[in-house]
Amino acid sequence: MTSEFETQLREVSLRVTQPRLAVLATLRDHPHIDTDSVFSLVRADLPAVSRQAIYDVLHALTEARLIRRIQPSGATAHYESRVGDNHHHLVCRSCGGIVDVDCAVGHAPCLTASDDTGYVVDEVEVVYWGTCPECVAKNVAQ
């Protein structure tokens, strides 16, 4: 398991450190997780790690595109390690839950601008806003 993450780090020329390995493992097990939750989960294994160290790791891994930062408007930043497949997200307005949804096209950019005015478009951000099944059920019950 660890060696897979070590390979990923080496491929992007990042030094292999315990906090970086721990963050990658945490994101594999908990997709769409916010900074505070990453911090508490990593800290359970590495009690000496500081909050600032976790911020730095998340920043470095995002810059290296090993992880992706998603921040639906009104929400805190969430991170995931599923990168490179141009998938999108369903976001619940009620509880803030985030779920993956495969891109119908499968590659970026998956929408065509009505007029790109000469821009070379390489990515389109798609967020499906709505209410998750749990929140729909709760609202019906009330």
Quote the CA–CA distance of 74 and 109 in Å, as a whole number: 25
Smallest distance, Å, CB 134 to Zn ion?
A: 5
Smallest distance, Å, CB 99 to Zn ion?
A: 8
Q: Measured from the CB atom, is 20 or 88 closer to Zn ion?
A: 88
Q: Measured from the CB atom, is 16 or 108 closer to Zn ion?
A: 108
Smallest distance, Å, CB 18 to Zn ion?
A: 25
Beta strands 78-80 and 98-101: pairing type?
unpaired
The footprint of Zn ion (CB under 5 A) covers 80, 92, 94-95, 97, 100, 103, 105, 110, 132, 135
Q: Measured from the CB atom, is 15 or 107 closer to Zn ion?
A: 107
Smallest distance, Å, CB 96 to Zn ion?
A: 7
Cis ω on the peptide bond leading into residue 133 (within 30° of 0)? no
Size of the chain in residues = 142
Which SS3 state, helix, strand or coil, does residue 127 take? strand
What are residue 130's phi and psi, to 5 degrees?
180, -150
Q: Which of 85, 82, 70 is nearest to 127 (CA)?
A: 70
Q: Measured from the CB atom, is 64 or 103 closer to Zn ion?
A: 103
